[in-house]
Amino acid sequence: MVAQILETKEQQTAVNNLSVSFRLLLALYAIIPFCLFLQLIDTQFFNHYLQQSLPTSPTHFILFQILFGTPHIVASAIILTTNTEYFKFYQFKVITMTIALAVFFAVGSQLLSYRVLYIMVASWTVFHVLKQQYGIARGVCRLPSWAFYLQLGLAVVAGIFIYIGIFLNKSLDAQQAEWIKNISGILCVALFFVTVLCHRMVPSLFGQIFMWANTFLVLSSFYLYVQQYYFLAILVPRLVHDTTAYIFYVVHDYNRHHEKPKTFLYQWAKKVRIPIVIVLPVVSFALAFVLQAYGDYYFNILVELFFGTEIHKVISLGFLGYLGLMHYYTEAFTWKNGSPYRRYISFSK
């Protein structure tokens, strides 16, 4: 969800029953003080029990993936592929990117090391996550372009180093780990002071709060990373990002289909009287559960049955990895002003 939220006449006049509430989006940032509170309580009263019990990343919990990671990626794919109008509009880009990804990983896996490939994918992930949040905030902050891109650039580069410091922690030597920590710290300090500089440029108190929320999204992840609460450091931006995207998806689908369902999914839901607003969440969560929990197992049964061999993690790593990368790519343009998606999105405070 890379959305630069700027109002247009089309959005203002669109007849929609649901709107994306900026206050609701801002409320999601409450995960920041909550995680900081957990870290403080664990340090002061539980002798780091939580730190030692949690895995390095929320993605190591299949339940987390089913609740936060995979569903919004699956939901994004459902919106694009089941709406014929959308798929026809973007099919050239989708096909081209699919071929490009296949070629890149086929060639890259032979020429590039795992660490290089991982850093490239991690950088794209961080850019996607923060571009969404800063893009949404831009609509209420109304910052000049140079200030917006300066903040975004510092946040993304700092986020990349934090991400690398967490996920490649075991493969880094002490000096490398220290360098990454120092570089990300310097970038976070720079981001803080740039936010102070931009504070007076934002015309409303609400916009100022939204801007600082994004800054603290990065700063809190850095603090939790330094304190070695890696799970919480990743949880903060993931929860905000994934839930924000889901709000857009649900609002879009309700506004597009509630009067006259336009896809087989919503036509079927109407026949059995399932409320429109829960169709996408139910389907995407169910698919996420099946793919994450059973996808590899049943795929291997079929492969072994027909070919007498096994291929590991084709669904959990291959197929879902492909959907994730395509999600990063398509979300960069599907929600921009003028796209078919945006006809069904309006905003409110």
Give the side-chain half-sphere CA count within 13 A for 313: 5
d(CA 72, CA 249): 8
Q: What is the pLDDT of residue 163?
A: 92
Q: What is the pLDDT of residue 107?
A: 84
DSSP per position, 202-261: -SSHHHHHHHHHHHHHHHHHHHHHHTT-HHHHHHHHHHHHHHHHHHHHHHHHHHHHSSS-
In sign, the C-alpha dihedral spanning 125, 129, 132, 135 is: negative
- Which residues, listed in sequence order, are joined to residue 51 by a DSSP beta bridge? none
> Mind listing the pLDDT tens digit for each residue in 277-307?
889 989 998 998 888 878 777 777 776 666 6
Q: Is 5 strand, coil or helix?
A: coil
Q: Is 200 strand, coil or helix?
A: coil
Mean pLDDT by 10 residues, the chain (349 residues): 45 62 95 96 91 72 71 92 92 92 83 83 92 91 93 96 88 89 96 96 94 97 94 91 92 90 89 88 90 77 68 75 90 88 88
| Residue 38 tokens, joined | 């957990």
pTM over 0.85: yes
- Which residues, listed in sequence order, are joined to residue 348 by a DSSP beta bridge? 21
Angle between helix 320-330 and helix 70-82 axes, rounded to 10 deg: 70
Q: Are 159 and 175 in contact (CB under 8 A)?
A: no
List Cα–Cα distances, 79 to 47, 96, 214, in angstroms.
46, 19, 27
d(CA 27, CA 8): 25
d(CA 220, CA 35): 9
d(CA 153, CA 136): 15
Q: What is the pLDDT of residue 315?
A: 73
Backbone angles phi, psi at 312, to 5 degrees: -85, 140
Count the residues in the chain.
349
Q: What is the pLDDT of residue 210?
A: 95
Q: What is the pLDDT of residue 63?
A: 67
- Which residues, listed in sequence order, are joined to residue 21 by a DSSP beta bridge? 348
